[in-house]
Structure 1
Amino acid sequence: APAPTPTSTPTSTPTPPSHAGRVLLPHPDFRLFLAIDPRHGEVSRAMRNRGVEIFLLPPSLHDPDLISSSSPSSLSSSASSVGNGTATTATTATTTTTPNTPNTSTPPPPFHEEVRLLASQGLFGSSRRLRAAVVAAHARLAAACVRVHKRPPDLRELAHFAQLASTLACRGWPALAALVVAWRQIYLRSLGLGGADMVVGLRVLAQMVREAGVGSTLGVAG
């Protein structure tokens, strides 16, 4: 009988200790671009910390006419309302106030930063009249808060208001309902207004709606 052939034992590759970690090196040419529609969410903070966030300003915001035609002061002379194909002009109503009652009808000077902030949210891109009315209401409420020694709303409240109104409009809310709910939640509830201050805030809201001439839908850029 032939002698048995000895079998060779395979050599095992030494494995690193279990406590040793694996180091993953990114490829030098690796790039990842995320295009996010703010109507569907936003990038998480963890992803933002691992990349560079770039904001592209819409071309329409570079138009010099955007500021001049959207300034709140343009509402002081007249407000045009269109109905059935004809335009009518309504003059600004004057109100008499007592020394202890804030004047909520005086239009403030133009605020370029506020106008650009609203336009960048995409909500008021198609309605300069609505955008101007919101900026004017924001300034009126801020002035009223200063008179009673309360913290006035700043750009943070204005941005949150535009975001909430835009979200509600994208979900099918009527324009008037979206503006009223956003105003109540951001300007009245968040600022903690109550009593007489709440009444002033509601009057500013009513004046904003009248000046804006809100229709059935809001102009949402997208």
Structure 2
Amino acid sequence: MPERHLRLAAADEPMILLLLAVAAGLLAGLGRAWWGGRRLQFPALRLEWLVLVAVIPQVSAFYLPVVRDIFSDWVVAIGLVTSQLCLLTFVWLNRRQPAFWLMGLGLFLNFLVITLNGGFMPISPEMASRLVPTVLPEAWAIGSRFGTSKDIILPIHETQLWVLSDRFFWSTPFTSYRVAFSLGDVGIALGVFLWLWALGRSNLTHLQEINLEKLKTIPE
């Protein structure tokens, strides 16, 4: 596979769905708060530094040309799985936050399929060619990384839990940007959007939900 195709493939792998979810969620939350004459209310989260610990290896391995080429595939795989574990721990510790259960479900689905497929997210040759139309499906090397991304090229019949792999496709209107994503990615994006939307709610609603959670813990 020509190097230029590998770089192009890697360039199509940023977390566009997550970025869109953050942008849309912030706008929705701000709009909700503005409509009620309030400000966004960012809650205190437990062990926020786990998010930074989780993001650093992914950014280093997938997006920084200076360092990503020096990491072997097994190091990248370990880093990706460790990153997922950090995020799962963070979400579990903050599971009472609105929509964190949905984020956690999405993270767990991704963690499951990545772990069962050697530490990388599987993507079929056919889907890879949808992302890079200049490369035929049979030209991809089975078992190789998809560029410098988190994905690994695997045919459907060799993929563990194919239903959870990067099997969905989306292209942005009026551009040539293409992205493949998984069911877990959808859960994460929806969870992020709903959490940010919830930040615009009233203090009264928030206090009512806290009191309800406390009542559930009181033995009858």
Largest Rg, 1 or 2: 1
Q: TM-score range by the shorter chain?
A: under 0.3
| Greater relative contact order (CA < 8 Å, ≥ 6 in sequence) | 2
Structure 1 length-normalised TM: 0.26
Greater per-residue helix proportion? 2
TM-score (norm 2): 0.26
